[in-house]
């Protein structure tokens, strides 16, 4: 059964001129169209061309006759005439000419049907009709994989580019708009194993991070759907449960041919960059990581010296001529990675030299660089203006005891450029990078049950007259040995240039950087960006038709999020994944992010509220920026 989707969509343009080339032998008007598509990578060019010679793919226009609630299907038009000279084609794309009979008695075609009677899928980018009377060029933006017809219960329908709010939708279109949404919601497939050609967007919890079949140490909680471990939802992949725990979804190795289900149109586009990203992640997780364990270092989880770090920039890591390298190299899919994993004794993992150490290899040790990276680096928005002194904790005192800061006025007053602490606060000169409350609740577990040894940190900063920041004091805190209810045990470190004090100050700055990096990667980047946006992608696809203007506005912002999140669950967030190996919470990585998600509020993500929160460090910016930011805050507050 065909879906006849109707749109009367386009503004009038100059009518096309009639000539012999635009009419068939019966005198009916013929309009030409251009179809741009991309073949599946495994299909040869020769076979691809034969598909069209054998009339395996056809297009039908759907028009909107007057006084009729049914769409009228045009004649089948097969793709067979390849256009050899057409600019603007992407990598692997091919253009074909199609011709349609034009019936001037009906309105403009508002949708088209594509039917694929070949055994292989293809990517349909656009269909453009040229010279339509009174309308000129008509454009259909498709951007979708079309599988063989036997994969679908209904033929694929693509709507024109006209958008409608639900109450504006023409009556003949409403039914077919809803049919398309039902397909995307997975109607009739709620309990089915999803296949690669399915276009289902559905919800699931994060129950696929552990592998209980491997033993208790590989078990992980289910995140989402419960008050203990709240979490944003992810896309349903319909894998069967594990043998040990029926509530935990089994995992698939991230190798070619066994990809975890996500709708095909959400997967990485077929470009060199996407191929590189996908293949690189797979190879690093399954080959190169094992290589480092096996042949590089007796302590691969850590650097033995500062020179180990510099070696990555000055010449890479020298690999031995080991038979294991040859086996790993055979499994590496891209030429880029083949050039990394060398078997001829060449270097491995050579990175470009960072600008900061090109001239001075010790420049990263300075206080100026410490604060510059904090502000100009990956996570500046967690810096806030200090509003009360000493800083106070928001943790439950009944459970965690006294967690307020032990920083005193005496330890910072000599570095306030003649100001008192009260004057510095009043003049917006004191700031804080506070990673105390977010870390402390997990610190005892992390330090006793994992290989990590870290502190909760508070760093006070002073805004100098030249507009730069300088560190005043770092507070390192750990849980009390007698129990959490006894509060924090804290030590203070202040800037020093020489001796043991300088080494301790450098170590304290390192602990701050470790906390800041982990918070950025796991909270600011992963949780508050990637994880929270996935349920919005699913909801948009399930509830907002492609005809809805909001859908079109959101689509570019959602691109590639679902495949990135899928890969993250496969190799980064999972038990013994990259995050657990590289970021200090270790096996508590996701549990830590879940604890902070409890305080995530949707309305706080709105721009006006975000600007108001950002105003806590407004004085850090140059003066000419400050007036603009304050005006923006006033405007948003008034509105």
Contact 516, 374 (CB under 8 A): yes
What is the Cα–Cα distance from 51 to 16, expressed in whole angstroms? 32
What are residue 5's DSSP bridge partners? none
Neighbours of 61 (CB within 10 A): 28
Orientation angle between helical segments 561-571 and 532-543, nearest 10 degrees: 130
What is the Cα–Cα distance from 445 to 480, expressed in whole angstroms? 13
Q: What is the pLDDT of residue 70?
A: 54
Neighbours of 215 (CB within 10 A): 9
Average confidence (pLDDT) per 10 residues, the chain, 639 residues: 32 35 56 86 64 75 60 78 80 85 65 87 90 78 93 89 84 80 91 91 95 93 94 94 93 68 82 48 45 49 72 63 53 46 50 78 88 85 89 94 94 91 92 95 93 94 91 96 93 93 94 93 93 96 93 91 90 88 91 93 80 59 66 55
Q: What is the pLDDT of residue 297?
A: 54
Burial degree of 558 (CB within 10 A; 0-12, 13-18, 19+): middle
Q: What is the pLDDT of residue 148?
A: 93
What is the Cα–Cα distance from 237 to 242, expressed in whole angstroms? 14
Give DSSP secondary structure letters for 274-319: HHHHHHHHHHIIIIIHHHIIIII-SSTTS-SSHHHHHHHHHT-EEP
Q: How many CA atoms lie within 13 A of 424 on its CB side?
A: 27
Contact 348, 316 (CB under 8 A): yes
Q: What is the pLDDT of residue 3?
A: 36
Angle, vertex CA 512, rays to CA 603 and CA 432, nearest 5: 55
């Amino acid at each position: 059964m065909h879906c006849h989707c109707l749109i009367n969509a386009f503004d009038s343009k100059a009518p096309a001129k009639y000539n012999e080339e635009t009419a068939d032998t019966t005198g009916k008007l013929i309009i030409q169209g251009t179809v741009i598509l991309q073949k599946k990578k495994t299909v040869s060019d020769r076979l691809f061309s034969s598909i069209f010679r054998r009339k395996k793919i056809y297009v039908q226009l759907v028009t909107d006759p007057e006084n009729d609630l049914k769409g009228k299907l045009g004649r089948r038009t097969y793709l067979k005439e390849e256009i050899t000279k057409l600019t603007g084609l992407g990598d692997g794309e091919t253009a074909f000419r199609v011709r349609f009979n034009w019936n001037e008695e009906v309105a403009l075609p508002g949708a088209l049907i594509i039917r694929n009677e070949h055994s292989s899928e293809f990517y349909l980018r656009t269909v453009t009709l040229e010279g339509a009377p009174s309308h000129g060029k008509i454009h259909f933006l498709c951007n979708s994989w079309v599988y063989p017809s036997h994969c679908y219960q209904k033929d694929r329908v693509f709507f024109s580019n006209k958008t409608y709010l639900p109450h504006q939708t023409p009556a003949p279109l409403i039914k077919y708009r809803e049919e398309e949404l039902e397909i995307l919601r997975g109607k009739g497939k709620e309990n089915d194993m999803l296949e690669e050609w399915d276009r289902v967007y559905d919800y699931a919890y994060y129950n696929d991070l552990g592998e209980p079949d491997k033993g208790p140490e590989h078990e992980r909680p289910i995140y989402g759907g419960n008050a203990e471990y709240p979490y944003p939802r992810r896309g349903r992949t319909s894998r069967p449960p594990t043998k040990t725990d029926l509530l935990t979804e089994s995992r698939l190795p991230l190798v070619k041919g066994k990809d975890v289900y996500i709708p095909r149109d959400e997967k990485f586009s077929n470009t060199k960059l996407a191929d590189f990203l996908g293949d690189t992640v797979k190879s690093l997780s399954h080959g190169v990581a094992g290589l480092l364990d096996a042949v590089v270092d007796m302590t691969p989880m850590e650097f033995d010296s500062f020179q180990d770090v510099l070696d990555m920039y000055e010449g890479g890591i020298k690999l031995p001529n080991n038979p294991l390298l040859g086996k790993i190299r055979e499994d590496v899919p891209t030429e880029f990675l083949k050039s990394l994993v060398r078997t001829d004794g060449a270097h491995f993992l050579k990175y470009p030299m960072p600008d900061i150490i090109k001239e001075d290899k010790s420049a990263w040790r300075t206080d100026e660089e410490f604060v510059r990276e904090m502000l100009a680096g990956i996570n500046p928005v967690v810096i806030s203006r200090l509003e009360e002194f000493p800083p106070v904790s928001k943790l439950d005192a009944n459970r965690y005891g006294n967690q307020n800061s032990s920083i005193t006025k005496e330890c910072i007053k000599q570095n306030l450029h003649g100001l008192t602490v009260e004057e510095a606060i009043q003049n917006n000169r004191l700031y804080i990078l506070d990673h105390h409350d977010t870390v402390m609740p997990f610190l005892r577990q992390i330090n006793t049950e994992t290989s990590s040894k870290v502190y909760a940190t508070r760093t006070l900063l002073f805004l100098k007259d030249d507009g730069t920041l300088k560190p005043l004091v770092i507070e390192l805190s750990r849980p009390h040995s007698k129990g959490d209810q006894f509060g924090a045990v804290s030590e203070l470190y202040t800037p020093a240039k020489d001796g043991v004090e300088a080494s301790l100050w450098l170590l304290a700055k390192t602990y701050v950087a470790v906390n800041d990096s982990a918070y950025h990667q796991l909270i600011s980047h992963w949780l508050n960006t990637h994880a929270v946006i996935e349920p919005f992608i699913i909801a948009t696809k399930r509830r907002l038709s492609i005809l809805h203007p909001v859908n079109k506005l959101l689509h570019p912002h959602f691109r590639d999020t679902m495949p990135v999140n899928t890969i993250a669950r496969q190799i980064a967030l999972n038990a013994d994944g990259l995050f657990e190996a590289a970021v200090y919470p270790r096996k508590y990585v996701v549990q830590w992010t879940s604890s902070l998600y409890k305080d995530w509020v949707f309305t706080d993500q709105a721009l006006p509220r975000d600007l108001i929160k950002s105003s806590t460090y407004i004085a850090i910016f140059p003066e000419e920026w400050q007036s603009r930011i304050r005006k923006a805050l006033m405007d948003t507050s008034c509105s």
